Amino acid sequence: MYRTVTVYLNINQDDLLLYYEGAVSEVITRDSNGLKIQFPISILRPFVLHGGVRGRFEICFDSANKFIDIKRVS
C-alpha cells in the first residue's frame, strides 16, 4: 500500500546551499493535514531552480515509509 502526502515548500537558495555543503540532509515540514513529514532533501534535486525550491508537491511513500516518487502539483 502506498501513501501520498501533499506539502508546500518554500526553500530559498541559501538554505539549499546548506545541503550542497553537507550541513543538511533532510527536510522536515508538515503536510496539508498538519502531520510532520521528514524526507531526504536529495529527492528535490529535479525541482531546484536558481532561487530555490517553491511549490506544492505530492510525495509517495511505501508502507515502510520509503520514498517512491515526487511530483510538483502547482
Q: In this predicted model, what pLDDT tens digit does every residue of 13-28 receive, in sequence order? A: 999 999 889 999 999 9
Our count of domains for the chain comes to 1
Contacts of 35 (CB under 8 A, 6+ apart): 5
Question: What's the half-sphere exposure (Cβ side, CA atoms, 13 Å) at 39?
Answer: 28
pLDDT for the residue numbered 20: 87
CA distance 25 to 56: 20
pLDDT, tens digit only, all 74 positions of the chain: 899 999 999 999 999 999 889 999 999 999 999 999 999 999 999 999 999 999 999 999 999 989 999 999 98
Could you tell me the residue range of the domain that residue 58 belongs to?
3-72
Q: H helices then E strands: how many in the chain? A: 1, 5
